[in-house]
Amino acid sequence: MACDMSCRNRAQYCGIFNAFRERSLGEGTFTTNEIAGAIDFVRELDAARGGLLACPVSRLQVRFRLGYRRACALAGRLEELDVWEIVVTPSGLRGARLK
């Protein structure tokens, strides 16, 4: 199958693809601003709800527009920083107990 993209368009596409690939490969690395933003987001949720937060990974995905693996890595990083504790309820639902 022949590619009908011009060289310039192909180079631009490859640049976008490589930037995406580099970001997705660095799942466990986050900038200080990303971590600070996530902590602020969690604190806002804590102030609004308190107690157990349902579906923490999904909330991170939606708020920060992350894929599942990167959101899981961010959730794990927040747990390492003692922001929250990931728990599983007796019904099998994952949640986060905010600290």
**Residue 17 placed within a domain:** no
In this prediction, residue 8 carries a pLDDT of 47
| CATH for 82 | 1.10.10
**Residue 10 placed within a domain:** no
Number of domains in the chain: 1
Strands 94-98 and 52-54, sheet pairing: antiparallel
- Count, in order, helices (H) and strands (E) of the chain: 4, 3
**Residue 12 placed within a domain:** no
> Has residue 25 got a pLDDT over 50?
no
Please give the full DSSP string across 25-40, using - where no structure is assigned: H-TT---HHHHHHHHH
**Residue 23 placed within a domain:** no
**Residue 67 placed within a domain:** yes
Tens of pLDDT, residue by residue over 30-64, are 888 889 999 999 888 876 666 778 889 999 999 99
Evaluate if pTM is beyond 0.85. Answer: no
